[in-house]
Amino acid sequence: MNNFFMNEALKEAKKSFDLDEVPIGAIIVKDNEIIGRGHNTKEHTNSPLNHAEMIAISNACEKIGDWRLIGCDLYVTLEPCAMCAGAILNSRISNVYIGTRDQRMGCAGTVINLLDMPTFNHKVKVEFGVLENESSSLISSFFLKLRNRK
C-alpha cells in the first residue's frame, strides 16, 4: 500500500518536472482514500509557499472542510523543509512517508526532526525510504536536464 500511494505522489512530482519545476509531489490519504494532491509550482506561481506538501494539505482541508487532518497520512517524494514540516504539524497529520532525504534542508530527521520536538503540541510518525530510488532519480534527472540546457 505504501508503494501504491508513493507512486501517486511520484505522478504529482512528474507534473512539476514537465513544468520545469523541481519535481516534488505529495498526496494525503485518509482511510485508504486520496483526499489531497499537490506538486511543486513555486516558479510558475511566484510563491515560495507553493511546495507540493502545502498544496496537498490545502487541497485536503478544502475537501473535508476542516483544518485538522487527524488520522491522515502524507506521502511526499522528498523530505519536507521547515515550512512543510511545520504545516504537517499545524494540520495534525498522523504519519509521513518520505521518498528520499534532503541532506541540507530536511526537517523530518535529517538536519533536524521538527516532527518530534519535546515542547510542540503535536508529533508525527515518520518513515523514510518509500520508493527512494524512483524519488531521488527523478530529482537527479531534473537537475541533469537543467545543466544540459545551459
Could you give the residue numbers annotated as active site? Answer: 53
Burial class (CB in 10 A: 0-12, 13-18, 19+), 58: middle
Sign of the Cα torsion 33, 39, 44, 50 reads: positive
x-marked contacts with its own copies along 13-52 as a string, rule CB under 8 A: -----------------------------xx-xxxxx-x-
Separation between Cα atoms, residue 147 and residue 96, nearest integer Å: 32
Q: Which is nearer to its own copies, 112 or 144 (CB)?
A: 112
Q: Which is nearer to its own copies, 39 or 131 (CB)?
A: 39
Q: Which positions lie near its own copies, rule CB under 8 A?
A: 42-43, 45-49, 51, 54, 57-58, 61-62, 65-69, 81-87, 89-92, 103-105, 107, 111-112, 114, 117, 119-121
